[in-house]
Structure 1
Amino acid sequence: MKYKRTIRCNPRWKLREMRATIREDIGTDVYQSICARAKKLVLQKTQGCYVDEFGLLWTYAEEMRKADPGTTVKIKVDRLNPENKPLFQRMYVGFASLRRGFLQGCRQIIGLDGCFLKGLCKGELLSAIGRDANDQMYPIAWAVVEVESKDSWSWFLELLASDLSLGEGSGWSISSDQQKGLIPAIASLLPAAEHRLCARHIFCNWRKVHKNLEWHPYFWECAKSTTVMKFNHAYKKLESRNKKAAQDMVRVPKEQWCKAFFSTIVKCDSVDNNISETFNASIVEARHKPPYSLLDDIRVLTMERIAKKQEAASKWTSPFCPKIMKKLEINAKESRIC
């Protein structure tokens, strides 16, 4: 059937929209009952595929451990009572090779984020993403969970902290949005880590109340200030124009989103969590798939990315990575006019 993929990717595709699409594509009107039967048939077959794929997860986990010794794969199930079959709840994947690469060549900052799964079976994908030497994303670990909550984030962080030997987080920075359950989970499991919040999301919430476009540049001047003196100067400029806007801006502690207050232990001055969003965008198609296909797509995409980056790096002629070299050149140029 021509529309099988569309139905699989969007099980909630409305019948009237399906009819309109068919009418536009082939110039023929079809009865809604025909659309309903076709959609039902596709979904029944798809549900069968989902059941089969859940059954493959344990074998898949064992194969990953064999292929990359030291890999951590954990599957959590739920049983309503001992007589019932186990119900899949969560699955964590942390490849040993990715872990070694991260610990040996990346900054000590981890971006955490969650995104919705879009297929027939709903859930969330949690991810831990690092920054490589060229200031680009480096996937570390990911997990399929039933819902984003303190419990699911705590489960994910416990496994991640164990894999990376984070201890209580001393010397590490965690970057995230203000996801439900994540903030208390970090505070509980990694109390010594610096927790940065994405300035862009703080800005989006702040501008819902303070919509005057003239004030918005002052927010970013504050967020990207490199010294406390520069921050105070930018803050006073906003305060002189709208005192409440300035007060509301720092309701979220400035130490968590303003560059001037970041720890200098971790050599990263980013005020956003774009690396996590880049990862989420790279797996959009995979998020429509059943769990086994989803996880294997992420594995393949990650392997291909590492191979491409390695090939690109082999052609570099400078001892510095391209993005870092560009920053150095800009800073050198600006320093001449200080």
Structure 2
Amino acid sequence: MDQIESNPGVPIRAIQEELQRKYEVSISGDKVFKAKSLATKMVVGDCTKQYAVLRDYVLELQATNVDTTVKIQVESKTNCNNSTRQFKRMYVCLGALKKGFKIEMRDFFGFGCNGIYPLAYAIVESENTDSWKWFWECLGDDLDMHANSNFAFISDRQKGLIPAIAHIFPCAEHRYCLRHIYENMRKVWRSTEYKEHLWNCAKATTIPEFETLMREFISYDVEAYAWFMKIPPHHWARSHFSGRVINKCTGPLTPTGERLLQANISSALQYTARWNGVSKYQVKGPWHDQHVVDMGQMTCSYRKWELTGMPCKHAIATINEMADCNTLFWIIL
């Protein structure tokens, strides 16, 4: 009992070994499992009985967290004479988190346990399309999201999530976590060359550059190329992303943002910009790097400016040519 209380997750094997060492008896794993289950119930209580006080928990949450949303869904009744109902799902969005998100309202959602800003969570019967649809309907109600909302999502392609997002938010962008794509790839193709090919293709900012890198991939390994092309590039390749999901902060840059900006400023010193009519400039640099910057539209044919919201080296070279460096920070979106 004491061992279970101090360490509820103690493995069955460890308990068997302790009994063998202390009492010199050998007990089967099934008997140890049953004994552990009984001891756990005595220490933490019967889990099934906790459902009876679930609504009390909800009322406490809402009383201590203003504007908190909690939704509980139960299984459909199979017996009309049964007075109890079976728990199915629960959705929670704390009021303070909801308010904070609405104030900043970045059009971006990520999935995982290490999110930058936790927003809502749910307990469901299983991870499937139906439960994901229910979750997004609940969150959509909380955040006033509609079918035509231009949000972007990033995930590791959890089961059922892809069709759920496509159904609830057909206008949204759904990007896939490249690290998880690589982990799946590594099960078959383990060498570092494959990783380098993948990341180079993913980081390309223009479609022609992406296609050139993918042709190199074909020459390296046709089977690996075919595997990647089963995943639509607009889900994982930067060259195929739209530019609407960018950093919209209006205050000081983050340390990472400042570091990236200073790197771009340094790189821009190697480039020259020449006016090319109206608001466009032709920018040239080392290794035949040449792009067109449109200051009126705040775009660059390199596309990194649109994708990140931060002026690239070509844009900064243009700003230097315009001799108005004070506009640099105004241009950062």
Amino acid at match of 2:93: G
- Report SS of the residue matched to 1:9: coil
Once residues 169 and 7 of structure 1 are traced to their aligned partners in structure 2, the CA distance between those partners, rounded to angstroms, is: 49
Question: How does 1:261-300 map onto structure 2 within 5 Å?
Answer: 261-267=240-246
Are 2:61 and 1:64 equivalent residues in the alignment? yes
Is 1:184–2:184 an aligned residue pair?
no
Where does residue 257 of structure 1 map in the other structure?
236
Q: Indicate conservation of the 8 Å contact 2:19/2:26, yes or no.
A: no
Encode CA deviations 1:53-83: one digit per residue, 9 max, x unaligned: 3222211212222333322100111233222
The letter of the residue matching 1:320 is L
Aligned mate of 1:164, from 139, 143, 161: 143
TM-score of the superposition, structure 2-length normalised?
0.70
What is the match of residue 83 of structure 1? 81
Q: How does 1:1-338 map to 2 (within 5 A)?
A: 1-5=1-5, 8-9=8-9, 13-14=11-12, 16-21=13-18, 29-32=24-27, 35=32, 38-45=35-42, 48-78=45-75, 79-84=77-82, 85-113=84-112, 137-267=116-246, 319-337=252-270
Supply the distance in 1 between the matched residues of 2:69 and 2:34 (Cα, whole angstroms).
43
**What CA distance in whole angstroms lies between the structure 1 residues aligned with 2:167 and 2:146?**
12
Rounded to whole Å, the distance in 2 between the matches of 1:168 and 1:19 is: 55
Q: Runs of 5+ in structure 1 lacking a partner?
A: 114-126, 131-136, 269-317
Change (3 A) 1:95 1:37: closer
Deviations 1:166-202 (A, max 9, x none): 2015321011122221111111111010111112222
Structure-2 change in CA distance of 1:203 and 1:58 (3 Å):
same
Q: Distance in 2 between matches of 1:254 and 1:265?
A: 17
Given residue 231 of structure 2, which amino acid in structure 1 is its aligned partner? V
> For the residues of structure 1 that align with 2:159 and 2:223, how far apart are their CA atoms?
26
CA contact (8 A) 1:222 1:234 kept: yes
Q: 1:102, CA displacement in angstroms?
A: 1.2
**In structure 2, what residue type is equivalent to 1:186?**
I
Alignment-mate amino acid for residue 66 of structure 2: P
Q: How many residues align?
A: 264
RCO higher in structure (CA 8 A, sep ≥6): 1
Q: What SS does structure 1 have at the residue aligned with 2:8? A: helix
SS in 2 for 1:221: helix
Amino acid across the alignment from 2:2: K
For the aligned residue pairs, the C-alpha RMSD in angstroms reads 2.8
Q: In the alignment, residue 202 of structure 1 is paired with which amino acid?
A: I
> What's the offset of the Cα at 1:330?
3.2
Identity of aligned residues (%): 34
Partner Cα separation in structure 2 for residue 329 and residue 193 of structure 1 = 32
Give the stretch that moved more between structures: 221-230 or 143-152.
Answer: 221-230
Indicate the structure (1 or 2) with the bigger Cα radius of gyration.
Answer: 2
Counterpart Cα distance in 2 of 1:233 and 1:148: 38
Q: For residues 74 and 155 of structure 1, what CA distance do their matches in structure 2 show?
A: 10
Distance change >3 Å, CA 230–CA 48, structure 1 → 2: same
Moved more, 205-214 or 180-189: 205-214
The unaligned stretches of length 5 or more in structure 2 are: 271-284, 286-333
Secondary structure (helix, strand or coil) at the match of 1:3 reads: helix
Residues 83 and 325 (structure 1), Cα distance of their counterparts in 2 relative to 1, 3 Å cut: farther
TM-score between the two structures when normalised by the length of structure 1: 0.69
Deviation of residue 18 (structure 1)?
Answer: 1.6
Task: Name the SS for the 1:208 alignment partner.
Answer: coil
Cα distance in 2 between the residues matched to 1:217 and 1:7: 43
Separation in 1, partners of 2:136, 2:63: 24
Structure 1 residue 210 displacement after superposition: 3.1
- The one-character-per-residue Cα deviations of 1:70-125 (angstroms, maximum 9, x if unpaired) are 22100111233222211111110012221121122252110135xxxxxxxxxxxx
1:81/1:323 CA distance change after superposition, 3 Å: farther
Query: 3-state DSSP class of the match of 2:111?
Result: strand
Match of 1:133 in 2: none
* Equivalent residue, structure 1, for 2:279: none
Aligned position for 1:305: none
Aligned CA distance change for structure 1 residues 209 and 139 (closer, same or farther; 3 Å): same
Q: Taking structure 1 as reference, are residues 48 and 324 closer, same or farther at Cα in structure 2, changes over 3 Å only?
A: same
Q: Which one-letter code corresponds to 1:178 in the other structure?
A: R
1:332 and 1:5 map into 2 onto residues whose CA distance is 58
